[in-house]
Structure 1
Amino acid sequence: MALSSRQAFSHPGLDAPLWALGLMSGTSLDGIDAALVRTDGERVLDLGPALTVPYDGDLRARLRAALGRSPADQEAGLPALVRDLTERHAQAARRLLAASPFHPGVIGFHGQTLFHAPDEGITVQIGDGALLAALTGVAVVNDFRSADVAAGGQGAPLAPAWHQALAASLPGPVAVLNIGGVANVTWIAGASAPGTPPLAFDTGPGNALIDDWVRGRLGLPHDAGGRLGAAGRVDGVALAALMDHPYFDRRPPKSLDRDAFSLDPVASLTDADGAATLVAFTSAAVAAARRWMPAPPARWLVCGGGRHNASLMARLGQDLAVPVEPVETVGWQGDALEAQAFAFLAVRALRGLPLSWPSTTGVPAPLSGGRYWPADGPLSGPGTTTRPR
């Protein structure tokens, strides 16, 4: 039986660790990340294999056409899009499990964000949890954000619990910067101040504007390696116009929709100069985020697709003036990090543990969430053990 996303739920007897599979499809519309994690919802006990399955061109185009539109504005074709998206996620899950000796007790299914307006009390992630459970034979937790938004929170970011668990032994303070379509940061006090709640919020644009610029000008999905941006010059007037946005003066917690910013200030620039200016915009927004942190981070660990943009990473190093490194530097799996986060959050949801805090989403009190969809067989069965192949 599915429980309301606004109703906390937990399953007694889940104190024992179990394997969980996380599925994440971000606002960059690259595809589906899948990863396995063994956890009790508090500790990181083992990291299993992970993979990425790119969206095919047709599905990506259909998702892009649905972005930024409220549920009332969606066309009649939305149910077919939800079904097709869910089936692709089931295929990704089966592909990962076919190559793994570990069988999950639960799947954390983020779904695809189409619309995010928390100040209006709305967040939309499509994906059919019941269908995914039926297609995979594994219990599913999805709809992670609705309870937070319903309680007055921003509904994002949700990965800070995972970042803090991973960074438990690192000296701090440290910032974990995720650069997807939107960029978000988790500030973590680190091992020197255990138990300090993380602070998290969206810093501003991530890859979305750069991707949209390159797609519109050159017909390419992204600026591979940041080469176009590296060839251009930053236009100071355009950058100042981009930074003149009220979002940057809002105190966190706060979050953004993918399409919160416009390309208009760079419309008259050359392809390369526009790309360079948008790179500078993403970086300047990250640098501006330091004003809200309890103490300046001693290092920044970067995950998400943006860490592959050499121009962006160089600009971040220049603007932040402290080490800026991909998360692989500390042994984390950068391409799998968000999928791992939703595996971890699914277990926390099953145990009734908080997914968000006042310092991460602005929710009034620590809050669990998610919606549970059972599958055949006991939840605590194969998910607690490794399955020989």
Structure 2
Amino acid sequence: MSELYIGLMSGTSLDGVDGVLVDFSDSKCLVRQHWSAPLATELRAELLALNTAGADELHRAALAANALVRTYADTVQALLADSGVVASAVRAIGAHGQTVRHRPQAFDGTGYTLQLNNPALLAELTGITVVADFRSRDVAAGGQGAPLVPAFHQHVFAQPQATMLVLNIGGISNLSVLGAKDDAQGQVLGFDCGPGNALMDYWCQRHTGQPFDRDGAWAATGTLLPALLAQCLAEPYLHQPPPKSTGRDLFNPHWLHAQLDTHGNAAPQDIQATLTELTASACASSVSSYGKKSKNLAVCGGGAFNQHLMHRLQALLPTVAVQPSDAYGLPAQQVEAAAFAWLARQTLCGAPGNLQSVTGAQGARVLGAIYPA
């Protein structure tokens, strides 16, 4: 039976779609091909707008899901063409979809999580079985539904005799604390630290017209605003114990402008510098609180390419080696897409994809819904 899977990821940053073709033969994780596709400007704007309440949401969300899936399908075709692999050789596609609401345990005690997707259409367009809707079962079981990547991080990055840390910095940042493989008590912990790139990207787009602060160069020209940083770090979410997860439902422009109400005269580059420090500080605080046993931190996601942010992380964690995940065998831009390929495999194998110690669910669950080719 084929051990080739495709993983697709469009994260909270809304910077594009990453796709990987992964070979899981011998239970290893070998990325054979990677492809990135930008989101069309109109689609990105619509997905961002759908994070908040608006007119005719159901209709707009359905059409946005169709448009996103066509980008997914184009990514799949590019992966197959570049690798020389035929569709029939791929066992399944893991397609996470685009998160537009994430409110686990809210309102009625169960809450919900919503990812825009049309996996049935993706199966039709590609001729490949699709696995999707990974978060819902964990939420139904009383969990946060996120983050789901720590189980995959354990599979790929865990070390035999040392605790390992993996920090994913997408729109939101999340930390995985991976106990040593040889330690019978070695447990996996994971949670969302707080904002990642989402606030920085928004502020950069607003003031420079660029979708993100390349290399953190603009932030590096600014001066830190200590009072604003302290105000942002007082956000209650940042002080909650795990299990916990968050998203644009909290860390969005409305939240940011509420913090800025008393800092209206600050220079935009100073605010960018402070937002970068907010992300670095929230991540470093999480490491200091829950990852004390580790000396190694692998960083993945778009934040790994922000040199100023990486420099600030290293400065705040002087006893920890802060490196992109490339140093541990899996490039930073490929990790999340590979995680959803792995989660699709778990689903088809009837194996759990969540970790109770991470999400707080009532137990391990097989995640995802299957749409046969």
Scaled by the length of structure 1, what TM-score is found?
0.88
Greater Cα offset, 185-194 or 220-229: 185-194
C-alpha deviation, 1:374, in angstroms: 0.4
- The 3 A distance-change label for structure 1 pair 142 and 173 is same
Corresponding position of 2:192: 202
- After superposing on structure 2, the runs of 4+ consecutive aligned residues of structure 1 that deviate more than 4 Å are none
SS at match of 1:77: helix
Greater Cα offset, 205-214 or 352-361: 352-361
Corresponding position of 1:385: none
Corresponding position of 1:273: 270
- Tell me the distance in 1 between the aligned counterparts of 2:280 and 2:183: 28
Which of these residues, 102, 105, 111, is aligned with residue 91 of structure 2?
A: 105
- Tell me the distance in 2 between the aligned counterparts of 1:344 and 1:246: 33
Structure 2 alignment gaps of length 5 or more: none
The 5 Å alignment of 1:164-175 reads 164-169=154-159, 171-175=161-165
The 5 Å alignment of 1:58-97 reads 58-69=42-53, 74-97=57-80
- Tell me the distance in 1 between the aligned counterparts of 2:306 and 2:256: 19
- Tell me the distance in 1 between the aligned counterparts of 2:323 and 2:93: 30
- Tell me the distance in 2 between the aligned counterparts of 1:353 and 1:177: 25
- The 3 A distance-change label for structure 1 pair 88 and 45 is closer
Counterpart residue type for residue 272 of structure 2 = A
- The 3 A distance-change label for structure 1 pair 220 and 259 is farther
Which of these residues, 121, 129, 135, is aligned with residue 119 of structure 2?
A: 129
Corresponding position of 2:10: 25
- Tell me the distance in 2 between the aligned counterparts of 1:76 and 1:108: 25
Counterpart residue type for residue 54 of structure 1 = P
Match status 1:218 vs 2:192:
no
- Tell me the distance in 1 between the aligned counterparts of 2:358 and 2:335: 18
- Tell me the distance in 2 between the aligned counterparts of 1:200 and 1:169: 16
Corresponding position of 2:256: 263
Which of these residues, 357, 362, 374, is aligned with residue 372 of structure 2?
A: 374
Counterpart residue type for residue 357 of structure 1 = L
- Tell me the distance in 1 between the aligned counterparts of 2:341 and 2:167: 19
Scaled by the length of structure 2, what TM-score is found?
0.91
Provide Cα deviations, 1:236-290, integer angstroms capped at 9, x if missing partner: 1000000111112211010001241322334522121111100110011112213
Corresponding position of 2:338: 340
Greater Cα offset, 355-364 or 256-265: 256-265
- Tell me the distance in 1 between the aligned counterparts of 2:100 and 2:231: 27
Q: Is the 8 A contact 2:101 2:249 kept in 1?
A: no
Counterpart residue type for residue 122 of structure 1 = Y
Counterpart residue type for residue 37 of structure 2 = V
- The 3 A distance-change label for structure 1 pair 170 and 302 is farther
- Tell me the distance in 1 between the aligned counterparts of 2:143 and 2:124: 31
Q: Is the 8 A contact 1:198 1:360 kept in 2?
A: yes
Greater Cα offset, 355-364 or 173-182: 355-364
Counterpart residue type for residue 38 of structure 2 = P
Q: Is the 8 A contact 1:168 1:194 kept in 2?
A: no
- The 3 A distance-change label for structure 1 pair 97 and 218 is same
C-alpha deviation, 1:22, in angstroms: 0.3
SS at match of 1:166: helix
- The 3 A distance-change label for structure 1 pair 304 and 125 is same
C-alpha deviation, 1:73, in angstroms: 7.2
Match status 1:288 vs 2:289:
no
Corresponding position of 1:185: 175
SS at match of 2:205: helix
- Tell me the distance in 2 between the aligned counterparts of 1:195 and 1:26: 32
Counterpart residue type for residue 233 of structure 1 = T
SS at match of 1:30: coil
Counterpart residue type for residue 80 of structure 1 = L
Structure 1 alignment gaps of length 5 or more: 1-15, 376-389
Q: Is the 8 A contact 1:167 1:190 kept in 2?
A: no
Corresponding position of 1:6: none
- The 3 A distance-change label for structure 1 pair 313 and 337 is same
Corresponding position of 1:362: 360
Query: Hey, which of these two has a bigger chunk of helix by percent?
Result: 2
Match status 1:310 vs 2:300:
no
Greater Cα offset, 279-288 or 138-147: 279-288
SS at match of 2:211: coil
**Root mean square deviation of aligned Cα:** 1.9
C-alpha deviation, 1:67, in angstroms: 1.6
Corresponding position of 2:130: 140
C-alpha deviation, 1:138, in angstroms: 0.4
| Higher normalized contact order (CA 8 Å, seq sep 6+, divided by chain length) | 1
